[in-house]
Amino acid sequence: MTAAPPSDDASPQLLWADDGSPRSGRFGDVYFSKDDGLAETRAVFLQGCGLPEAWSGRSAFTVGELGFGTGLNIVALLDLWRRTRADGARLKVFSIEGFPLTRDEGARALAAWPELAETAAGVLDAWPAGTPGFHRLDLPQWGRRSTWPSATPAGRWTNGRDRPTPGSWTGSRPR
């Protein structure tokens, strides 16, 4: 069996279920649990990475994420960071996404959690265009810098200074 040639289409082929949750038509998979995606993110990704304890007492911390998706993991991470970080501490986030959602699609997905509205708004205000390459976002109000490369160039770092060294990794949830 031969694999189909790669598509130049970077769309996730987003579908919206009757309950309002997004699905990837490209992969036939959900972005998060329809029961409670935020609880899932907190249990699997944040607590699973030992956060916030892992950054306790540190002036800087880096998180790598495989699969930015709707941004839920990053928004939940940032919300936790805002509440628990030490004064003056900086958070760096490195996230890879091969099939980025548009800002409007991200906003629609994140609207399911009004308790994250303020944090989500900050991320949505800085949401990059869905183009290949690296997107660096500075959110100094929360001591955070994010770099969002597309999946294609992610393995090609320009020099050692740009190469992240995460203290924690999160990622997409396989079904």
Residue 162: Cβ within 10 Å count? 12
Burial 105-134, CB ≥16 within 10 A → b, else e: bbbbbbebbeebeebbebbbebbbebeeee
Q: Which two tokens stand for residue 103?
A: 């800002």
Q: CA–CA separation, 55 vs 67, rounded Å? A: 22
* Residue 155 included in any domain: no
Q: What percent of the residues of the chain are helix, what percent strand, and what percent coil, each to the nearest 5?
A: 30, 20, 50
* Residue 18 included in any domain: yes
What pLDDT does residue 62 have?
86
| Whether pTM exceeds 0.85 | no
* Mean pLDDT of the 126-155 span: 62
How many folded domains does the chain comprise? 1
Residues 89-124 have pLDDT tens digits of: 888 887 878 888 989 999 999 999 999 999 999 889
* Residue 143 included in any domain: no
Q: Which two tokens stand for residue 117?
A: 């509205």
Q: For 96-115, give the DSSP string.
A: EBSSPPPHHHHHHHHTT-GG
Residues spanned by the domain of 106 = 10-129
pLDDT higher than threshold 60 for residue 16: yes
* Residue 60 included in any domain: yes
CATH assignment of the domain containing 57: 3.40.50.150
